[in-house]
Amino acid sequence: MPVYVDFDVPADLQEDALDALEVARDTGTVKKGTNETTKAVERGTAELAYIAEDVQPEEIVMHLPELADEKNVPFVFVGA
C-alpha cells in the first residue's frame, strides 16, 4: 500500500464511486489530473476527489488526502 493511502476502500465502494464518476462525466464538470484536482479542492468547488493508488512517484498525489481533509472534501482511493 502506498504511503499516502490512509485506509483501504472496499472493492464495492470503489466500483460505486467509479459508476458515479461515469455519470458525472456527462456533465462536463469532471476535473482530470493532479493540478486540476488540487485547484478544485483548494477553491472549494470539488464535491469528491478520486485519488489513484498506483501513482508513481507517490509524491505527485501525496498532498491530496491532507488537503481534502483540510477543505472538508470527501475523497476515495481507487485502484487501477
Q: pLDDT, tens digit, for every residue of 13-35? A: 888 888 888 888 888 889 999 99
pLDDT above 80: residue 7: no
**Residues 6 or more apart whose Cβ sits within 8 Å of residue 76:** 9, 13, 14, 17, 48, 49, 50, 51
- Per-residue pLDDT band for 40 (boundaries 50, 70, 90) equals very high
pLDDT above 70: residue 1: no
Distances, alpha carbon 3 to alpha carbons 27, 40, 56, in Å: 33, 23, 11
| Domain 11-78 fold | 60s Ribosomal Protein L30; Chain: A; (3.30.1330)
Distances, alpha carbon 28 to alpha carbons 9, 36, 65, 69, in Å: 26, 14, 24, 25
User: How high does pLDDT run on average in the chain?
Assistant: 90
pTM of the full predicted structure? 0.83
